[in-house]
Structure 1
Amino acid sequence: MTERPVDLSSLPSYGAARRSLFSARKFALMASVVAGLGAAVYGFSPQQGPADVFTSAAHAQVNTEVRKVERPIGFADIVERVKPSVISVKINIADKRSKDDSANKDEDSPFPPGSPMERFFRRFGGPDGLPPGLRGGPRGGRGPVTGQGSGFFISPDGYAVTNNHVVDGADKVEVTMEDGKAYTAKVIGTDQRTDLALIKVEGRTDFPFAKLSDSKPRIGDWVLAVGNPFGLGGTVTAGIVSASGRDIGNGPYDDFIQIDAPVNKGNSGGPAFDTNGEVMGVNTAIYSPSGGSVGIAFSIPASTVKSVVAQLKDKGTVSRGWIGVQIQPVTSDIADSLGMKKAEGALVAEPQQNSPAAKAGIQSGDVITAVNGEPVKDARELARTIGGLAPGTAVKLNVLQKGQDKVVNLTLGQLPNTVEAKADTDREDRGGASKGTGVPKLGLTVAPANSVAGAGREGVVVTEVDPKSAAAERGFKEGDVILEVAGKSVATAGEVREAIDAARTESKNSVLMRVKSGGSSRFVAVPLAKG
Structure 2
Amino acid sequence: MPIFAISSRLFGHARRVALAAGVVAGALALPASAAPGKGPDSVADLAEGIMDAVVNISTAQNAPVERSVPVPKAPEGSPFQEFFDEFFNKNKNKDNTPRRVQSLGSGFVIDASGIIVTNNHVIDGADEITANFNDGTKLKAELIGKDTKIDIAVLRVKPTKPIKAVKFGNSDKARVGDWVLAIGNPFGLGGTVTIGIVSARNRDINAGPYDNFIQTDAAINRGNSGGPLFNMDGDVIGINTAIISPTGGSIGIGFSIPANTAAAVVDQLLQYGETRRGWLGVRIQGVTDDIADSLGLKEAKGALVAGVTEKGPADAAGIQAGDVILKFDGKTVPSVRELPRMVADTPVQKEVDVVVLRKGAEVPLKVKLGRLEEGEKQAALEKGGAKPPEAPKPQPTVTTALGLSLAELTPELRTKFKIKDSVAKGVVVAEVASGSPAADRRIVPGDVILEVGQEAVGRAEDIVKRLDALKKDGRKRALLLIANPEGEMRFATVAIE
Shorter-chain TM band: 0.7 to 0.9
Report the Cα offset of residue 273 of structure 1: 1.2
The CA distance in 2 between the partners of 1:305 and 1:324, in whole Å, is 23
C-alpha distance after superposition, 1:94-133 (max 9, x if no partner)? 34466999xxxxxxxxxxxxxxxxxxxxxxxxxxxxxxxx
The CA distance in 1 between the partners of 2:363 and 2:251, in whole Å, is 48
The CA distance in 2 between the partners of 1:328 and 1:368, in whole Å, is 11
**Match in the other structure for 1:176:** 132
**Match in the other structure for 1:94:** 62
**Match in the other structure for 2:77:** none
C-alpha distance after superposition, 1:447-497 (max 9, x if no partner)? 211251343541122222334333233222222211111112223333223
The CA distance in 1 between the partners of 2:128 and 2:103, in whole Å, is 11
C-alpha distance after superposition, 1:241-291 (max 9, x if no partner)? 111111222222111111122212211111111122211100111223443
Name which of 300, 321, 333 aligns with 1:343. Answer: 300
Instruction: Report the CA distance shift for 1:407/1:320 in structure 2 as closer, same or farther (over 3 A).
Output: same
1:145 and 2:72 matched: no
Report the Cα offset of residue 205 of structure 1: 5.7
**Match in the other structure for 1:507:** 474
**Match in the other structure for 2:167:** 211
| DSSP-derived class of the 2:252 partner | coil
The CA distance in 1 between the partners of 2:182 and 2:240, in whole Å, is 8
C-alpha distance after superposition, 1:351-386 (max 9, x if no partner)? 111111111111111111112221111222111111
The CA distance in 2 between the partners of 1:153 and 1:179, in whole Å, is 14
1:73 and 2:35 matched: no
Name which of 398, 403, 422 aligns with 1:437. Answer: 398
The CA distance in 2 between the partners of 1:97 and 1:360, in whole Å, is 53
1:452 and 2:408 matched: no
Matches within 5 A, 1:130-529: 142-204=98-160, 206-216=162-172, 217-416=174-373, 418=376, 419-420=379-380, 422=383, 437=398, 439-441=400-402, 443-450=403-410, 451-454=412-415, 455=419, 456=421, 457-528=424-495
Give the greater-gyration-radius structure (CA). 1
C-alpha distance after superposition, 1:29-52 (max 9, x if no partner)? xxxxxxxxxxxxxxxxxxxxxxxx
Report the Cα offset of residue 293 of structure 1: 2.5
The CA distance in 2 between the partners of 1:97 and 1:385, in whole Å, is 45
Instruction: Report the CA distance shift for 1:406/1:174 in structure 2 as closer, same or farther (over 3 A).
Output: same
Equivalent pair of 2:426/2:450 in contact (CA under 8 Å): yes
Instruction: Report the CA distance shift for 1:438/1:286 in structure 2 as closer, same or farther (over 3 A).
Output: farther
Q: Which residue identity is paired with 2:50?
A: V
Report the Cα offset of residue 520 of structure 1: 4.3
Matches within 5 A, 1:85-124: 85-96=53-64
Equivalent pair of 1:435/1:445 in contact (CA under 8 Å): no
Instruction: Report the CA distance shift for 1:172/1:276 in structure 2 as closer, same or farther (over 3 A).
Output: same
The CA distance in 1 between the partners of 2:161 and 2:335, in whole Å, is 44
Equivalent pair of 1:510/1:527 in contact (CA under 8 Å): yes
Instruction: Report the CA distance shift for 1:259/1:340 in structure 2 as closer, same or farther (over 3 A).
Output: same
The CA distance in 1 between the partners of 2:221 and 2:358, in whole Å, is 48
Compute the RMSD of aligned alpha carbons. Answer: 2.9
C-alpha distance after superposition, 1:109-168 (max 9, x if no partner)? xxxxxxxxxxxxxxxxxxxxxxxxxxxx99x99433222111111121111110011112
The CA distance in 2 between the partners of 1:447 and 1:300, in whole Å, is 49
User: Which ranges in structure 1 are unaligned for 5 or more consecutive residues?
Assistant: 1-58, 102-136, 426-431
Report the Cα offset of residue 436 of structure 1: 7.2
| DSSP-derived class of the 2:170 partner | coil
Q: Which residue identity is paired with 2:414?
A: A
- Runs of 4+ off more than 4 Å: 95-101, 421-425, 432-436
The CA distance in 1 between the partners of 2:302 and 2:366, in whole Å, is 17
Report the Cα offset of residue 440 of structure 1: 4.9
Equivalent pair of 1:434/1:447 in contact (CA under 8 Å): no
**Match in the other structure for 1:24:** none
**Match in the other structure for 2:81:** none
Report the Cα offset of residue 336 of structure 1: 0.9
Which deviates more, 91-100 or 397-406?
Answer: 91-100
| DSSP-derived class of the 1:207 partner | coil
| DSSP-derived class of the 2:414 partner | coil
| DSSP-derived class of the 1:475 partner | coil
Q: Which residue identity is paired with 1:464?
A: E
Report the Cα offset of residue 416 of structure 1: 2.5
Instruction: Report the CA distance shift for 1:489/1:266 in structure 2 as closer, same or farther (over 3 A).
Output: same
Report the Cα offset of residue 518 of structure 1: 4.2
The CA distance in 2 between the partners of 1:407 and 1:205, in whole Å, is 56
The CA distance in 2 between the partners of 1:435 and 1:263, in whole Å, is 61
Report the Cα offset of residue 401 of structure 1: 1.8
Instruction: Report the CA distance shift for 1:464/1:266 in structure 2 as closer, same or farther (over 3 A).
Output: farther
**Match in the other structure for 2:4:** none
**Match in the other structure for 1:11:** none
Instruction: Report the CA distance shift for 1:203/1:177 in structure 2 as closer, same or farther (over 3 A).
Output: closer
The count of aligned residue pairs is 424
Instruction: Report the CA distance shift for 1:245/1:98 in structure 2 as closer, same or farther (over 3 A).
Output: farther
User: Under a length normalisation based on structure 1, what TM-score does the superposition of the two structures give?
Assistant: 0.74
Instruction: Report the CA distance shift for 1:401/1:239 in structure 2 as closer, same or farther (over 3 A).
Output: same
The CA distance in 2 between the partners of 1:234 and 1:487, in whole Å, is 59
